[in-house]
Chains A and B, each alone.
Chain A
Amino acid sequence: KAGVTQTPRYLIKTRGQQVTLSCSPISGHRSVSWYQQTPGQGLQFLFEYFSETQRNKGNFPGRFSGRQFSNSRSEMNVSTLELGDSALYLCASSWARGDLETQYFGPGTRLLVL
């Protein structure tokens, strides 16, 4: 079974631009979570979607948003990019309930903001 895929894998943007990252979960998985990983802050939870609804959100500004489609694919958007948004963005999917189910992580999208 195919794993979690994320596109693009690498991205370079400039300050002030916006970016959209995509995540395709494992077939059958309905929960998708997004995380930001930086050397200074480590792994931080952004948000979780289940059946097209955002169930929970981490402590990130409103510039970070996401959505989930009916086929469980998810996108996250960052508007008005700042230098500090440079990070590895990871997506994880699980079957039904993120609390108990194993999360399967994708390889991540590495974003560099210049």
Chain B
Amino acid sequence: DAKTTQPNSMESNEEEPVHLPCNHSTISGTDYIHWYRQLPSQGPEYVIHGLTSNVNNRMASLAIAEDRKSSTLILHRATLRDAAVYYCILRVYTGGFKTIFGAGTRLFVKA
């Protein structure tokens, strides 16, 4: 099964950019890379996703390596509300789609 690897935790100062890395060396050509985050006592919420090209939305940017074996979620200006567990996810096609979650990175944001 394809899997993702993320650092257990990261720290950032408020108002500074944050780069959250993810390795997915076993990714296949049709696998999409999704990022979700989970705030305490809530279900995960969608952040961004991509296949090959870098992507931007109002929440974040996603930078995907040329060989697709790694990606980086970029929060441009971290706020206290961004403190959460961030999951790098592969959407894998095996006749139907299933989601392979990594262990997630717990992001701490310091005021």
* Interface positions of A (Cβ within 8 A of B): 4, 33, 35, 42-45, 48, 50, 54-58, 90, 92, 97-100, 102-108
Count contacts on B: residues with CB < 8 A to the other chain. 23
Instruction: Give the CA-CA distance A92 to B36 in the complex, in Å.
Output: 12
Chain A residue with minimal CB distance to B43? A105
- In contact, B101 and A43 (Cβ under 8 angstroms): yes
Q: In angstroms, how far is the closest chain A Cβ from the Cβ of B45?
A: 7
Q: In angstroms, how far is the closest chain B Cβ from the Cβ of A29?
A: 13
The SS class assigned to the B binding surface is strand
Q: A99-B91, A107-B42 are in contact. List 19 more A-B contacts (CB 8 A).
A: A35-B99, A42-B102, A42-B103, A42-B104, A44-B101, A45-B99, A45-B100, A54-B96, A55-B97, A56-B98, A58-B98, A90-B44, A99-B97, A100-B32, A103-B46, A105-B45, A107-B41, A107-B43, A108-B43
The interface centre, meaning the residue of A56, A57, A98 with most chain B CB atoms within 10 A of its CB, is: A56
Instruction: Give the CA-CA distance A46 to B91 in the complex, in Å.
Output: 14
- In contact, A102 and B46 (Cβ under 8 angstroms): yes
